[in-house]
Each structure stands twice: as C-alpha cells, then as structure tokens.
A and B are shown apart, each in its own frame.
Chain A
C-alpha cells in the first residue's frame, strides 16, 4: 500500500461486562505493514481488546475506525469487514466438519465467491506456505495443535486480509509447536503483512514487532518501539512485568 494512512484506529475504546470494566480508554493506531504486539498479564484486557476490533465483542464506549470509517455505526457491514480483517484464535477454531483443504476453501468460495479452481489453488498455495501442504485431506481432529494453528493461519491468509489479528496463537501449544507457528508468523511479518498480535512470547515480540503495547488492568501502560519497551521501559509497571525477561 502506497499511502501510509492508518488501517485501524482505536479511539478511547472501553468495554464492560456488566459492572466489571475490562477496557478503559484504549487508543492506538495500526498503519500498513505494522506488526503490533500486545503484551501484558493474563486478564489485562488484551484479548478483549482484540475481540472488540473484530467485533466479536461489542465495545461499550469509544470508536474503532477502519480506513477512517467507524465500524461501530449502525448499518455497518460487519461480515464484509471481517472478511478483510482476519483472526487467528488461541483454540484454532478450525471447522471440525471439514478437511484442512475445506477449511481454507470455504471462505473463498462462500464469502469471496471465487470459483472452485482458483480457491483450491490459493488454498493449496497457502497451506504449502505454512508447511501443511501434505495434510489437505486430514480432518482437524486428526492433526496436532501446532498443525491446526498453521492451518488456521492459512485459512485466514486465504481471505487476503488487510490486517491479521492473532489472539494468543501459541498459548495452547507445547514449546516445539510454538516454534513452528512463530516461524510462520515471522515469515508473514517479513512479507509485510499488517498484524496485531496478542502474545506471551516476549522474544518474538521483541524481534518481530515494530510496535509494542503493554497493557495492565484494562489500560495501556506504555507503548512504543520494542527497543524502548524491552531495553528501556519508561513505566515502572512495564519494567516490573518484564523484569524476568530483561534481566
């Protein structure tokens, strides 16, 4: 994308579940090619924030702009928006009734209305890219967690998203599988895909992202380039959180 105007702008976002306020006045901007990592303790609101961006949760206040257009206004085409903003889940959420190939093809066939041959080609290409080309015939319950997550990434890539959201993509995986999933994500980052990643993988956040957001108790404590957050945190809470990691 030639111009550098923001893809996503989150402005004063807040979210409450009943009386419990999980997000307070969250604001950040995502520009094309950005790899934004959100870090913070469990329960700090990172996932909720990401789910709000994809409208899986309805924000209770503030606004989210996609290419300058509010996604919260009445009559906004939610489905069409989600087709452009992909999401990868902690629990993979692959369609259990379809094969690996079917998972990737379904969105292109039914949402993008592509013809079968093109859809299949794109799906196979993306599956090969994440190293799952061999497994096109397998059902999700027959493959391992890391493989599932790579298929989930391929499924999201098939939609050619403008932004890809990752909600703790490696938290349900063992260390070896974490590695294979992170490698795929690193490759995507190097290809210039715009990504927002909620993660507990600090090394990954430090090495791959160009923007890090540290959240605690529903607010953004500190944000900035990874060098600042990991080497020279300005906020004492950030320093405390990263204490074990920085040394």
Chain B
C-alpha cells in the first residue's frame, strides 16, 4: 500500500467514526430530552410518538435487552468455538486414511468412528435446533434427572449443532488442501496426526474461515431459538419488553437494530482476522544477523519479524 492510499484510508476511518459518534451523540441528546419530557409532562404510552416509545422502552428495558444481546453473543462465540473444536476433531478422524495393509482392529475402530460421526452429523444437521433444544433439555431431565441450567443447556445445544455443520466444513477444508502437501509432510516422516496438526489444519483453517464466520453470524441470530428453553438472550428479553407494554413493533425495531449492529461488526471483524491470517505480502531478505546462529551467535534476534513493505 502506498503512503497516499494509507492516508486516504485513515481519513475515511476518521470521517466515518466522526459521523458515527455524531449520530450516537444526537440520539443520546434526544434520549435525555425525551426521558425528561416523559417524566415532567407525565406522558402516557398511548399518546407517545414512535420515537418516544422507543426511548421509553429503552429506558425501561434497555439494560435487560443489552444483557440479552450479551448472552446472544456469548452463545454465538462459545458455540462457534466449541463447534469448531468438534468439527476439527470429526474432520481429522474422518480423513484418517485406511488401507488394506492396516491391521484389522485399526480398520474396525476407524469404521465405527466414521459411522458414529456420520450419524451425529446427519441427526444434528437434519433436525431443527429448536427441536433439539426441547429434546435435549427435557430429555436429560427425564432420563438422568439432570436439571441443567438453561444457559448451560443452551451452550451445549448450540455447540453440538454447530459442530455438526463444522464437521462437514472442516472435511471440505481438509480435502481442498493440495494432496501434495500431505505427501510432502509424509516424505519427511510425519505421522497422520502431525501432518494434520502442522501442515493441513493451518491451511484448512484459512480455507474455511469464511465458513466459520458464516456460522458465527448464523449463531448470533439463531441463538434466539434457544428462547424456547428460557435462555434469556436478546429475543427472550425483547419478548419480555414487548409483552409488558403490548408494543411489539417499537420493541422489535430496537431488537432488529441490535442484531444488525452485532452481525455487521462481526463480519467486519472476521474480514480483519482473515487479512491478518494471510500475513504480510512482502518479506525481508535475511541479513547477516539473522543467519548468525550458524556462526554460533545464538543470542541473535529470535523473532523473524517480517514487516510489511519495509
């Protein structure tokens, strides 16, 4: 990036942040003014305007809705992270090569493992998360007498559900990596597990970053179905607020905006992470000091810091 482009980008960000701050400031001013008026004039909700109702709802239920949004994000992040872990484990297990030369026990175990993973993926991908929530939440209660906390149950369900989708994404990510990479790793004696860990997974991870981002955003929104087992996320909190004053439209306007703010900022964040993962476009030729360890100077700088463009 040239200096000119960098400056332009910086100016763009400054202008945008200024506009955002101005809009926020205006709204806060309106908020304070309106709450004052509602208080002093003793306005009834039936005689308020649309914006006044929104301010009124925010004043009464804003905090609980914010808390709900926090829970939604929490569910989405934990669910996606946990789902990725499950996905990677399943992905690695399903791609273990088995040949006729392997011993029969290993092949039998692999067969069973693959079967179990397939069933897991088909069941959790093939049923609605809302139904899974009911099924698991009330199921463990009935079968094991286990009284799961609602949020814990919600976390488990969203994780297991995301895991089923991620298992397939990861499998796709792994097979999309050039088979030559596997051969290269095997040719220096890496085992399947090492090949996966050091060579394939890092590349597969980069390939499926858009998928992970997709899942994260879907989870922010779809965590709302967990309201059926009374997880107090944003939708549940909104329902409470809407029910209190019978003002659905105004409340859900606020809810919509909150969801949108979360998802848009997340998609921006993910783009940023992807760019970071790609690393710098340029590299620096190693100068003498970096090759110094050969001459016994082990105190030479350890980090090969590669700076962009310099």
Tell me the A residues contacting B by CB distance below 8 Å. Answer: 54, 56, 58, 72, 74-75, 79-84, 86-87, 89, 91-99, 101, 106-107, 110-111, 117, 120-121, 124-125, 128, 133-139, 142, 152, 155-156, 159
B187 adjacent to chain A (CB < 8 Å): yes
* Contact (Cβ within 8 A) B294 A124: yes
A-B contact pairs, 20 of them (CB 8 A): A75-B103, A82-B186, A82-B187, A86-B188, A93-B184, A94-B184, A95-B199, A97-B199, A97-B203, A101-B304, A106-B188, A107-B188, A110-B194, A111-B194, A117-B293, A128-B291, A135-B286, A136-B304, A137-B285, A155-B188
A-B contact count (CB 8 A): 110
B185 adjacent to chain A (CB < 8 Å): yes
* Contact (Cβ within 8 A) A117 B189: no
* Contact (Cβ within 8 A) B203 A106: no
A246 to B235, CA, bound (A): 82
* Contact (Cβ within 8 A) B189 A138: no
* Contact (Cβ within 8 A) B294 A121: yes
B199: chain A residues within 8 A (beta carbon)? 95, 97-98, 106
Pick the contact of A133: B184, B187, B188, B291 (CB < 8 A).
B291
B189: chain A residues within 8 A (beta carbon)? 79-84, 107, 111, 159
B279 adjacent to chain A (CB < 8 Å): yes
A79: chain B residues within 8 A (beta carbon)? 186, 189-191
B190: chain A residues within 8 A (beta carbon)? 79, 107, 110-111
B180: chain A residues within 8 A (beta carbon)? 89, 91-93
Nearest A-chain residue to B280, judged by Cβ: A139
* Contact (Cβ within 8 A) A83 B283: no
B184: chain A residues within 8 A (beta carbon)? 89, 92-95, 152
Number of B residues with CB within 8 Å of any CB on chain A? 34
Nearest B-chain residue to A155, judged by Cβ: B188
B60 adjacent to chain A (CB < 8 Å): no
* Contact (Cβ within 8 A) A58 B185: no
Over the window 163-181 of chain B, the binary record of Cβ atoms lying under 8 Å from chain A Cβ atoms (1 yes, 0 no) is 0000000000000001011
- Given contacts A89-B184, A107-B188, A135-B286, 5 further A-B pairs with CB under 8 A are A83-B188, A99-B304, A136-B304, A137-B286, A156-B188
A93: chain B residues within 8 A (beta carbon)? 178, 180-181, 183-184, 187
A117 to B194, CA, bound (A): 21
Minimum C-beta distance from B228 to chain A (A)? 42
A137 to B285, CA, bound (A): 7
Most buried by A among B101, B189, B203, B206: B189
Pick the contact of B99: A58, A86, A124, A135 (CB < 8 A).
A58
Pick the contact of A137: B188, B194, B206, B284 (CB < 8 A).
B284
* Contact (Cβ within 8 A) B283 A139: yes
B198 adjacent to chain A (CB < 8 Å): yes
